[in-house]
Amino acid sequence: MEKLPANLFGLLTCVLALVLSSVSAVTDDPQDKQVYIVYMGSLPSGLEYRPMSHHMNILQEITGESSINGRLVRSYKRSFNGFAAWLSEPERQRIAEMEGVVSVFRSKKLKLQTTASWDFMGLKEGKNTKRNLTVESDTIVGVIDTGIWPESESFSDKGFGPPPSKWKGVCSGGKNFTCNNKVIGARDYEGEGTRDLDGHGSHTSSIVAGNAVAGASFFGIGNGTARGGVPAARIAAYKCCDSTGCNSDAILSAFDDAIADGVDLISISVGGVAIRYDEDTTAIGAFHAMARGILTVNSAGNEGPNPNSVGSVAPWILTVGASTTNREFLTEVVIQNGKTLGRSVNSFDLEGKNYPLVYARSNVKGKILVSRELVSSDVAVATIIKDNRNFAIINSHPLSALSPDDFEFLVSYVNSTKSRQGTVLKTETDFNQKAPKIASFSSRGPNPIAVDLLKPDITAPGVEILAAYSPLGSPSGERDQRHVKYSVISGTSMSCPHVAGVAAYIRTFHPDWSPAAIQSAIMTTAWSMNASETGVASTEFAYGAGHVDPIAALNPGLVYELDKADHITFLCGLNYTSKALKLITGEAVTCTGNTLPRNLNYPSMSAKLSKTNSSFTVTFNRTVTNVGTPNSTYKPKIVLNHGTKLSVEVSPNVLFMKSVKEKQSFTVTVSGSNIDPELPSSASLIWSDGTHKVRSPIVVYTDVSQ
C-alpha cells in the first residue's frame, strides 16, 4: 500500500495527495496549445490554503470551461506553489496578468547527458576507506532521471534496514514497480511508471549510491567491482525523462517533491543550453533545495569543446565537467603487416579470422567495411570508422574507431592493392597514463549568463564508465538487440553522479555543513589540472577548480560560505528585476546596495574584462570560515599558470583563525595589461596553514568566445 507523505504541510498534503491521484498527466497534444509553467512562488503558510483547488480555479476562470480535465499537467504544491497546464496563447497572456502569478513560461525539452573510477579518485573499496556507515545508511540521494531498475544487484537491499525515519516520500513507481530498503522512493512524472526503460537513470543512480557488485562487466569488458560513492546510502528515483529527453515542468515537480520527501542531496544529469536563471527550472528548483540545505549537483553538458557551451550556470548548483580515468578501452585492428589501436567497446570476437577490407559501401557482405562514418550495415562482418572523439562507443556490430591519422593510413593501405585483409579484435582494457584529461564533449565556459562566475566548477570521471543499466534499454540504440545489466557510457551525465557521491560522502562526516560548504570543500581540494594544449578547450573553462578528490575534500581547512541572502545579492548585482527575483526565490525581494557579482563569496574567482582595457585592475572580496583546527595561521601563495602575465596581491597576507567557525575576510587584487585575447589568464590562490591547501582558481578573460 502506498504510504501518504506526512511532510511539512502535514494534513494539507495528505488531502491533496488524494486529489492529485485523480489528475493524471496529459498525453494528447492540442495543436494550438502548449504546456506552460505557471509559477506562483512560495507556498502561502496556513492550513486553509489549498494549492490544487486554487490551481484548478485559476484554470477554470481562464479557460471558461467547467471541466478542465486534461488541461492541468501537474501541480507544484509541496515546496513551492504553481502548476503546469496546456494553454493557448491568449490564455497564457490572461493568466500572466492574474494576481499571485509570478511568471508563465514554456515547458522545454531538456537533454540527458552519460568502476574503476572510484579507485582512480582515491576512494578505495572496503576497509581502505574511512566511512561512517551509520550516517551513510541514513543518507538519501534523490536522482532526477529516466527512473531506475530496482531489481539490479546494484540496488539490492540485502543488509539494509528500513528507510531512515526522516523519509517522507512514497513508492509510487506504477504497476510492477516495487521499492525496497535501498530504492526507498519512486515517483513518476511521465505516466509510464518509474521503471527505467532506457538505462540512463539506473546508470547514474548506481554511480552515486549503487552497491558494490563484483564481476560486473559488459560481456567481460571492464570486468571488476562496480560500486557507487556511497554504497550504504538510499536512493529515491524521480522519473522526469525518457530516452527522448526530459520535460522541464516535470523537473520542477521532481524538485518540489524531493525537497519535501526529505532527500539529503539531488543529482540531476540533465540540461540544455544556458538560460537566464528565472527561466531555468533546474536553477529554480535547485534554489529552493539550497534554501532547505540540500545541494544540487548537475552535469555541465555535452556540447563541448565550443566555448560558452556550459548549460548549468547557477552558483547554488555544483556543475560538473567530464574527464578520463586511467582505464581506457582499446580495440585493435590487425592488418597483414601490423596493427593499429582504435577505440570502441567491442564485445564481439571474430576469433582472429581475417576478412577482406573494403573502402566502399556496396558489396560489403562478408567483408570489413572501412568507412569515414558509421553507416548501418548488418551484412558487413565489422566496421572500421574514423573518429576523433576521445571516448569509446558501443555498436550493435563489431566496430573499431581509428584516429584520423591511423584511419587515413588504413585507407591508403586498403586502396593500394586489392584483396587486403584484416580483422578487428575484442576490446581490451588499457592503462591510460595521461588521465585525467578533459573530454572533448564536456561543455565549456565562459558562463554565458553570469560572465564573472566561473563554470563548470569541477571535473570528474565521465568517460567510458561501467555502471548498472536497464535490461530493457539498448546498449547502443534500436538496432542493438542485446540486453545487459551493466553498460559503458560516457558523458557529463556520468561525472555528475560521481561528484554527487562525493558530496554525499562528505556529508556523512559533516552533517551540519551547508550546501555551499560542501561545494567549497570539493572545489578547493581538487587536483590541479593543466591549463595547456588546445586553447580554451583545456583551461579552467573546461575543468573549473580541477579534478575532484574525495578524501582531501573531507578536510578542507577553510570553506567559502554562502547562504540564500548571498545568492540574492548576487542576483541583484546581475540587475535582475524584482519580478525575476521573485520567480527564482519564490518571495518578494528588495535589492539594496549594488554589489558586484564577482564579489559573491564563491570558491573560484573570475572576471570578464572589457576588450578595450589594455591595463586593468580587478578586485575580489572573499570571506573564509575555519572548519579545520583552532589557532591556525594561513598564508597565501599565488601560482601563475603557464604563460600568464598577471600581478596578484592578497590583503591581508596572513589570516589567523583562533577558533573553529571563525570567519576572516580578504581582498584579491589582480592587475595586468594586454592579456592574451584568445585565452583566459589564470592563476591559483592557495591558502595554507602547513596542513591544508585551500586552492581557488583566479581567471580573467576578454571575449575568448568571439
Ligand X SMILES: *[C@@H]1O[C@H](CO)[C@@H](O)[C@H](O)[C@H]1NC(C)=O
> Which residues are near ligand X by CB under 6 A?
132, 134-135, 151, 176, 215, 217, 220, 223, 359, 411-412, 415, 528, 530, 574-575, 595, 599, 609-610, 613, 615-618, 621, 630-631, 667
SS3 112: strand
SS3 109: strand
The three cell numbers of residue 210 are 549503487
For the bound state, the minimum distance from the C-beta of residue 95 to ligand X, rounded and expressed in Å, comes to 30
- Cα separation, 233 vs 623, in Å, equals 33
Catalytic annotation present for 145: yes
Which of the following is catalytic: 79, 107, 145, 487? 145
**Residue 514 CB neighbours (<10 A):** 18
Task: Sort 416 into a burial class: Cβ within 10 Å, 0-12 / 13-18 / 19+.
Answer: exposed
Cβ 212 vs Cβ 129: under 8 Å: no
Nearer to ligand X, 174 or 245 (CB): 174
Nearer to ligand X, 69 or 659 (CB): 659
CA dihedral 300, 301, 306, 308 (to 10 degrees): -50
| Helix (H) or strand (E) run with residue 82 in it | strand 82-87
- Cα separation, 461 vs 448, in Å, equals 25
For the bound state, the minimum distance from the C-beta of residue 215 to ligand X, rounded and expressed in Å, comes to 5
Nearer to ligand X, 613 or 688 (CB): 613
- Cα separation, 599 vs 622, in Å, equals 7
Catalytic annotation present for 29: no
For the bound state, the minimum distance from the C-beta of residue 87 to ligand X, rounded and expressed in Å, comes to 32
Which of the following is catalytic: 103, 440, 493, 682? 493
Which has the closest alpha carbon to 516: 549, 572, 565, 550?
A: 565
For the bound state, the minimum distance from the C-beta of residue 132 to ligand X, rounded and expressed in Å, comes to 4
Strands lying side by side in the sheet with 241-242? 241-242, 245-247, 109-112, 270-271
Output phi, psi for 669, to 5 deg. -115, 120
For the bound state, the minimum distance from the C-beta of residue 610 to ligand X, rounded and expressed in Å, comes to 4
For the bound state, the minimum distance from the C-beta of residue 565 to ligand X, rounded and expressed in Å, comes to 14
- Cα separation, 521 vs 518, in Å, equals 5
**In the block, residue with C-alpha cell 569515414:** 372
**In the block, residue with C-alpha cell 596581491:** 649
Task: Sort 652 into a burial class: Cβ within 10 Å, 0-12 / 13-18 / 19+.
Answer: exposed
Which of the following is catalytic: 117, 138, 188, 200? 200
Task: Give Cα separations from 644 to 556, 627, 678 (angstroms).
Answer: 27, 32, 12
Nearer to ligand X, 246 or 410 (CB): 410
Q: For residue 679, what are the β-bridge partners? A: none
SS3 551: coil
Catalytic annotation present for 288: no
| Helix (H) or strand (E) run with residue 414 in it | helix 404-416
Residue type (1 letter), 380: A
**In the block, residue with C-alpha cell 552515486:** 208
For the bound state, the minimum distance from the C-beta of residue 495 to ligand X, rounded and expressed in Å, comes to 18
For the bound state, the minimum distance from the C-beta of residue 150 to ligand X, rounded and expressed in Å, comes to 8
Residues known to be catalytic: 145, 200, 493
